[in-house]
Chains A and B, each alone.
Chain A
Amino acid sequence: QLRLQESGPGLVKPSETLSLICTVSGGSISSSSYFWGWIRQPPGKGLEWIGSIYYSGSTYYSPSLKSRVTISVDTSKNQFSLQLSSVTAADTAVFYCARHGPYIVAPFDIWGQGTLVTVSS
């Protein structure tokens, strides 16, 4: 059974770069034509798609975050990662990694448990 697990610092200082990793287990990240995405949820608020990456490395970003987001994939480690630069308190959120596919319009069918990242000095 495919499982996704987010990991990374729980506290990031303002203006710094937030970095998270999603580790995929129970299957290969590159064995099938799926997309791997990041979604965030500020405390008490709704969900926001951040971006997705295809197993081959093609990336797709939310227009509102595109200038600050980088998503990459490491097939040798079965992981994909998120970097969000120049963070402010407004970036405090639970960050989820999730799978969708095999086409870009497909829904997010498998989610990680989420990890809370707080932006504070």
Chain B
Amino acid sequence: QSALTQPPSASGSPGQSVTISCTGTSSDVGGYNYVSWYQQHTGKAPKLIIYEVSKRPSGVPDRFSGSKSGNTASLTISGLQAEDEADYYCSSYAGSNNFVFGIGTKVTVL
């Protein structure tokens, strides 16, 4: 299975919105509503911020939102803040008890 495709970088000014795409196939993203997003600050472990396409774990701000259309999932960060500068990875269940991650997107707050 191949890694999910993400843009290498995205940026925005404080208060703006940024959207990151995550493109897979009908065997992973398109086939299941089990897409997750993780935030990773430099030198730290990933943190779950979105699961099952659009659900937020307790404690994750509501300015993080997720959606999916066909084989592409998206993460939107609204009201961008300095602490949102990090790497973001999508992940999808890929059937047969397998998981696949995206290649990652570096978000820069200008």
Residues of B within 8 A of A49 (CB): 91, 98-101
Docked complex Cα distance between A96 and B103 (Å) = 17
A–B complex contacts, Cβ < 8 Å, 21 sampled? A45-B104, A46-B3, A46-B89, A46-B101, A46-B104, A47-B91, A47-B101, A49-B100, A52-B97, A60-B98, A63-B1, A64-B1, A96-B45, A106-B51, A107-B34, A107-B51, A108-B91, A111-B46, A111-B47, A113-B45, A114-B45
Q: How many residues of A contact B (CB 8 A)?
A: 22
Q: Mark A23-66, 1 if CB is under 8 A from B, else 0.
A: 00000000000000001000001111100100000001011100
Q: Whose C-beta in chain B lies nearest to the C-beta of A100?
A: B99
A46-B89, A64-B1 as given contacts; A108 in contact with B46, CB under 8 Å? yes
Docked complex Cα distance between A104 and B36 (Å) = 13
Q: Decide if B57 is an interface residue (CB 8 Å cutoff).
A: yes
Q: Is the CB of B98 within 8 A of A62?
A: yes
Kindly identify which residue among A47, A106, A108 contacts B104, using a CB–CB cutoff of 8 Å: A47
Identify which of residues 62-89 in chain B touch chain A, using a CB-to-CB cut-off of 8 Å: 89
Q: How many residues of B contact A (CB 8 A)?
A: 25
Docked complex Cα distance between A120 and B101 (Å) = 26
Q: Is the CB of B45 within 8 A of A112?
A: yes
Q: Is the CB of B104 within 8 A of A107?
A: no
Docked complex Cα distance between A47 and B48 (Å) = 13
- Name the 3 nearest CB pairs between A and B, nearest first: A107-B36, A111-B45, A60-B97
Q: Decide if A90 is an interface residue (CB 8 Å cutoff).
A: no
B101 to chain A, nearest CB (A): 4
Docked complex Cα distance between A22 and B5 (Å) = 30
A96 to chain B, nearest CB (A): 6
Docked complex Cα distance between A38 and B69 (Å) = 29
A41 to chain B, nearest CB (A): 9
Docked complex Cα distance between A39 and B101 (Å) = 10
Residues of A within 8 A of B45 (CB): 96, 111-114
Residues of B within 8 A of A63 (CB): 1, 98
Q: Is the CB of A46 within 8 A of B102?
A: yes
Residues of B within 8 A of A39 (CB): 101
